[in-house]
Structure formats: C-alpha cells, structure tokens
Structure 1
Amino acid sequence: MAVNFLNNREVSDLCLGKPPLKWVPIGVTVAEALSALKKSGESHVSVWSCCSDHHSSSKIKSFDNNNAVIVDSPACKCVGKICMVDVICFLCKEENLADPFKALEASISQILLKAPPLSVRHLEPNSSLLQALDYILDGTQNLVIPIESYATRNSRKKFLGKPAPFSSTLHNGREYCWITQEDVVRFILNSIGVFSPIPTFTIESLNMIDHDIMTVHYDEPASSALALISRSLVEQASVAVIDENNRLIGEISPSTLAFCDETVAAAITTLSAGDLLAYIDCCGPSEELVQLVRTRLEEKNLEAMLDLLEECSLSSSLSSSASSSCSSDDESASIKYGGSGRYSPARRSEAIVCYPWSSLVAVMIQALAHRVSCVWVAEADHTLVGIVTFEGMLKVFRSIAGGIK
C-alpha cells in the first residue's frame, strides 16, 4: 500500500497553494542578494541563471569540447539558493572580517561554489512522490517544480516579446515553486494511516536516532562552531550547545539564524556559544550584549565590522521608528521580530526535545509544529543522546515502500 501511495502521488499535489519562487540572478552581489532576501520575508531566495529573454519557453543548447550538442536545457534554470546563514558564514571568514563591505560586493557565485552538488534540482510536476523522495535522500534539498496559475498566463501575455524584469516570477514561460523535506514530511503525515503501524513505533526501535551530532560547549567561543554551523546548513540539522555534563542548553540552528541579520557575524566572532544563544533569541540581543560585541570588535581592531554593526543598528532603529507609527494592535506581534525587523515564526534558540521512547508520528508532529528540520533526543535528565532529522524520517517511509536505492 505504501509503495502504491508514493508511486501514485505526483509532486504537483505538494505544490497546491505554494507561492511562486522569489529569485535573484546569478550575477548579483552578496549585498544585492542580501537585500532581496530581507525584502522577501522568506528564509531562502532562489538563484537563477537566465538568458535575457528569460520569460520565453525556448531552450538553449550545451556543447562539449568538440562543439557537439550534448543536451538541451531551459533558457532559465535555478542553480542554487541563498539564505542569511550563507551570508553570515561568508562574512565570518578571516579575510572578510577585516573588510565586510568589500566582501558584500563580491559575487554570490563565491557562496554558491560552497553549496553541495545538486542541492537544487528541477523536476516535472507529473513526477511521482517516490521519485522526489529518492532525489531528496540522494542529497537534493529543494526540488524546483513548474506551476501553472492565472498570474502565469497573464505574465506570458504581458511580457510577450519583451524581456521580463527580475521582479517577475516568470521563467521559461512558467512560474516555479519548490518542495522541501518539510513539505514531504507534512504531506505524508496527512496520510499517515497508509504506513501503519510503523509510525506508532518508537524512534529508538526504528533505529532513527543519529548519534553523530554536532556540539559546542556553552563557554567555548562561538567562532569554534563556525564549521559546524556551515555543516548543519548542508545537513539540515543543528548545533547543540551543551554544559559540562553533556546536558542540552540550547541550539545554534540554521532556522534561527535565517531570520537574524548579517550583524550575527560580529557576534559569532566575539561571543561565547552561550552568549550567542541570547544574542539570537527571538526578542533580540540586550544592549549589554551589543555593547560587549562592540568592545571586543575594538579590541580585535575590526573597525570595519564595527561600522557594519553600527550601520545595521541605525537601519533597524529607523525601521522600528517607522513601525511604531502603526496601530498599537500590532504591539503583541512585535516580539516576533528580531534585530533585522524580519518576521520569524520559528526564530528561537531553545532546543526542541523528544525522548528515545517517543513515537515516530509524535516526533513528526513536534517538528512540523515548531517548523524545525530536526528534534534533539535526550534522556529524562536532559542528557543529550542524539538527533532525529526530517531525512531520517523520510528514510523510514522510503524503506517501508521497498527500501532505499
């Protein structure tokens, strides 16, 4: 029954209600991509390689060294994605800390080169959910799917014979959305009975607990976790902040950092892992922590990074002043905005925890409710045991349907 369910469902079923992708061209700078990311209000922005007439449904040809045609490819193609974590890790590089403004003028291709191969892959809407699942388990993070909408048809008419602007969501005569691990897990949860009784088994009995976890001690410099933060973004996991007894204190999560701003690079450079948790908390950093970052930047002679911090603080203050003129009815929602002024439904530094005896379906619901891609596994005394990820969940459902390729 499970294999029939995955074979008979098309990925277009997961696209219903999905908004078209917001995007930037591959030729933009990091600063331009950062600006687009902030305006989008989303955690990621897609990056596209397009010809000038990118609204067209025509195709371009690729050639080998002998000028022989080897494949036809769309005139527009999504080649990657960028998020705030990418920018933060890029600015934290030693050569960029000294001159972050110069680093922001670099091409985003420098960031995309660090992305895992095939992290973004195009897939036709009539492809089966089973095929999509195999691609995801093969390392694809985002499946790019063409969608048809009223706006798409109107856009085709509007830009017929003209180059569509980058503000348009039209590529190859179509609009696109993308599917993530979270989307697939949520879709499977809605039909969880198909996989019965496996979802009621404990995560321990299903051998789902990954013990190869990324940790940093509470008192260690946050910068010591930089490589782990980059790895957690690729693996769609998280970095645990622990105490001397291996108890979980909090986490440095890509889903949390995604709704911060670029000044977190300064915080990672100057604060301990424990202090960083407070800095990236949903309420925003305290003035004492911000002042501590300023002081330590001065001690490290990182004046340019200090200038970036001041510039972003000024920009945030102006945004706050503008929002203060709005109705007081919005005050209750203001806590959901961090220093960047961007809405974050999932921005938090406390970790979501389950237990080895938790059922698979319970952990699925927990992860989806908190909009996180992983849940920490701990004993009753909060001693850290391991982690359960969306990928681990999907492996179980794929195995039910006949094993992992």
Structure 2
Amino acid sequence: MAVSFLAHELSELCLGKPPLKSISTSATIAEAIEVLRSSDDSFVSVWSCDHSEFTRCQCVGKVCMVDVICYLCKPENLLCPSKALNALVSVVLPKVGGLVVQLESSSSLLEAIDLILQGAQNLVVPILQTKRGGISRRKQQQKSSTINNHNGVEFCWLTQEDVIRFLLGSIGLFTPLPAYSIDSLDIISPDVLAIDYYSPASSAVEAISKSLAQQTSVAIVDSDDGTFVGEISPFTLACCDETVAVAITALSAGDLMAYIDCGAPPEDLVRLVKARLKEKNLEKLLQKFTILTSLTSEVSTSSSSDEEGLTRSGKHARSSSYSARFVRNVEAIVCHPKSSLIAVMIQAISHRVNYLWVIEDDCSLVGIVTFSNILKVFRERLEVI
C-alpha cells in the first residue's frame, strides 16, 4: 500500500501552487532584490533561457536575501555596496550543486524523495502549458531580467515541506512508524552549526551560509554551561533586507539574534550599531546602505535616515501569532529526544521550518532533526515492506 502511495505523480503535489518568480542569469543582484521584495516566496529562481531558440529553459539555481546579505558582508563589498549590488546574480548563486532539480510533472513521489535524500532542496516542476505569447512575447521577455514564462510553460517549486505535508495526509499507511520516538529512530544529528552568544556576529557569516545550504540554522549557545539559547535562522534573515549586513559587522551573535527576531530592531540595538560603526570610523557605511536600500525599495530617499534604514530590516518579520517554546525569551522551535516522529512532523509543518532543535529538559543541546532525516526513515521503511 505504501509503495503504491509513493507512485503518485508530482502533478498532484502541484495543485494550487503559484508559478515561480524567475530572473535571468543576466540579472543583477539589485534586480534580484527587487523581485524578492515583490514576491511572497523567500527565494527567486534563476534561469538560463534563450527564447530565440526553441530549446529547453533551464533553472540553474535559486537566490534569497540571505545569499545577498552574506555576499555583502565581505569586506570589499561593505566598502563599496553599490558596485556589489550591480554584479550579476550568478556571483551569489550557491556553489553547492544539486540544490535545485528540474523534473517532469509525471515524475513520482518516490523519485522526489530520492532526489531530496541526495541533497535537492527545491524541485522545479511544470504546472501550466500556455499557448499565449508568441514570438513577440518571447522577444520581450528575452530583454527583461524577469522571466515567468519559459517557452510557454510555467513552473512551481516543490519543497521538502511539500513532500512531508503530503506524507502526513496518508500517515496511517506507515503505522506504527509515526509513533516511534525520534531517539529510537536514530534521526537526531549531533552535527550542528553553533556559535557562542558573545562571539562577533561577523564570525557566524560562514555558518549562516552553510545553514542555508543545509536548510537548517545556526544555534546560539552559552559556552559557559553549554545550554541552548536560541538561533540565527536563515528563515528569519530571508525576511530582512540588505541593511542587516551592516548590523552583522557591529553586533555580537546574541545581539544579532535579537536584532532580526523582534519584528523590527529594538531601538537600543539600532543605537548600538551606529555607535560601533562610529568607533570603527565606518559611519559612512551606514549612509551608503541606507541610500541603496531606498533606491531598491518603495521607500523614498528623501524620507530616509540612518536609523530608518536599519529599522526597515524587520519589515517582513514573523507574525505575532507565531507560537513557539521560549528558551531564554528567544523563539526557537524545539523538541525532546522522546518526541514521536509524527509530533515532530506536525510541529515543523505548523511553524514552517525544515528542522527542529532537540534539547533536554535542562536546555542542553542534543542535536537537530531535519526533514531530510525524516524522509530517510520513510524511504528505509519502504525497503522492508
């Protein structure tokens, strides 16, 4: 029964999915930011297309604001952000191959799971065949950095979350597996990305970039007693704007966690950023980023100020209804080693995250459980049915 279930075609998972927002490989980073601002999705797909030829368009990757922020944190880009933002978007494409894979809508759910276990994060699947837009439409799109129609075909993302959600819809087929604890299933990974609460936030940039590639997060820990304090989440950073790069140069990891996770940066942290930049003779840096942000958003330059430029970074922050367990007053989605597999799946889906931190009652960090870990269990289950 479970084997036949996994033979479902991906077209069934695509029902109701919106078409991808896409940009060309010839787009600049500034243009990518503009598309991200206008999209409900955290990522924008990047395509290599030649619409003068009837060849298959290829999705070569995806970018989000986290890629941009990590790129801008490089010293040479901090000093000249305007030059950095005018670079081609290809410079911020993840160097890890296989994160985005193109599939046909007739491909099976089992194929999708196998690709995810091999490292795929997003599956690009066609959802609509159109006959509108002849040669003139294609020529027009060829001139634009934004491409939402690829030789008459529109595509959507299928993510790990989509697959887990689909499995939950028929979870009874896998009984008694869902009732087992994540500890007994041995899917808790002790290999986590972590940084001390008082470490400079700039020292976490590499870990943030890795966590984005792994679809996890960076744990903030107290080095004195090893307890889990919270996280710097790429999910949250993706909802910020590029001015966060300035804050990263000035704040500690713990302060950055609060800066990006409070709906809008607290005024005391905004003042702290400005003071730290002044100490380093980098006051002009903030002014540069403020002006650049106003040029790439709906905010006018005339109404900008240093402080406004910083406080805009949280404008897409999490909903106030976002419910989570609080660890030292910082939101982090956590579970216990004895939590059941189905409880962990439901908890992750309800909070729209691809992972859960696993902690003991004393808040000591045990490890992390990811959607990829979970899908591996379901895949292994099929081999013994």
TM-score (structure 2 length as normaliser): 0.88
Match of 1:67 in 2: none
Match of 2:2 in 1: 2
Match of 2:307 in 1: none
Match of 1:341 in 2: 315
Match of 2:306 in 1: none
1:241 and 1:274 in contact (8 A); partners too: yes
When residues 119 and 263 of structure 1 are mapped into structure 2, their CA distance, relative to the original with a 3 A threshold, is same
Match of 1:119 in 2: 99
Tell me the secondary structure at the aligned position of residue 102 of structure 1. Answer: helix
| Per-residue Cα deviation, 1:35-93 (whole angstroms, up to 9, x for no partner) | 1111113200011111144xx7x22xxxxxxxxxxxxxx1x111111101000000011
| Per-residue Cα deviation, 1:2-31 (whole angstroms, up to 9, x for no partner) | 22221x211111101000000111111111
1:43 and 1:259 in contact (8 A); partners too: yes
| Per-residue Cα deviation, 1:178-236 (whole angstroms, up to 9, x for no partner) | 11111111111111111111011000000010001111111111111111101100111
Q: Percent identity?
A: 53
Q: Equivalences for 1:300-339 in 2 at 5 Å? A: 300-311=280-291, 318=299, 339=313
Match of 1:27 in 2: 26
1:123 and 1:143 in contact (8 A); partners too: yes
The answer to whether structure 1 residue 80 and structure 2 residue 55 are counterparts is no
Structure 1 residue runs of 5 or longer lacking an equivalent are 60-73, 323-336
How many residue pairs align between the two structures? 363
When residues 168 and 91 of structure 1 are mapped into structure 2, their CA distance, relative to the original with a 3 A threshold, is closer
CA distance in 2, matches of 1:17, 1:92: 37
Shift of 1:343: 6.2
Q: Equivalences for 1:5-404 in 2 at 5 Å? A: 5-6=5-6, 8-53=7-52, 58-59=54-55, 74=56, 76-112=57-93, 114-148=94-128, 152-153=129-130, 156-163=131-138, 164-165=140-141, 166=144, 169-243=148-222, 244-311=224-291, 318=299, 339=313, 341-342=315-316, 344=318, 350-402=331-383
1:101 and 1:304 in contact (8 A); partners too: no
CA distance in 1, matches of 2:87, 2:14: 34
Letter paired with 2:383: G
1:233 and 1:254 in contact (8 A); partners too: yes
When residues 228 and 343 of structure 1 are mapped into structure 2, their CA distance, relative to the original with a 3 A threshold, is closer
When residues 343 and 264 of structure 1 are mapped into structure 2, their CA distance, relative to the original with a 3 A threshold, is closer
Shift of 1:162: 3.5
Letter paired with 2:63: I
What is the RMSD computed on CA atoms of the aligned residues?
2.4
Match of 1:63 in 2: none
Tell me the secondary structure at the aligned position of residue 158 of structure 1. Answer: coil
Letter paired with 2:217: S
TM-score (structure 1 length as normaliser): 0.84
CA distance in 1, matches of 2:125, 2:318: 25
When residues 189 and 338 of structure 1 are mapped into structure 2, their CA distance, relative to the original with a 3 A threshold, is farther
Letter paired with 1:110: V
Runs of 4+ with deviation above 4 angstroms: 312-319, 343-349
Match of 1:70 in 2: none
Match of 1:332 in 2: none
Letter paired with 1:234: A
CA distance in 2, matches of 1:271, 1:46: 31
Letter paired with 1:341: K
CA distance in 1, matches of 2:109, 2:226: 39
CA distance in 1, matches of 2:86, 2:117: 35
Shift of 1:173: 1.5
2:182 and 2:188 in contact (8 A); partners too: yes
Tell me the secondary structure at the aligned position of residue 162 of structure 1. Answer: helix
| Per-residue Cα deviation, 1:226-260 (whole angstroms, up to 9, x for no partner) | 11101100111111111121211111011111101
1:181 and 1:390 in contact (8 A); partners too: yes
Structure 2 residue runs of 5 or longer lacking an equivalent are 304-310, 325-329
Letter paired with 2:181: T
Letter paired with 1:105: N
Shift of 1:297: 1.9
Shift of 1:95: 1.6
2:239 and 2:317 in contact (8 A); partners too: yes
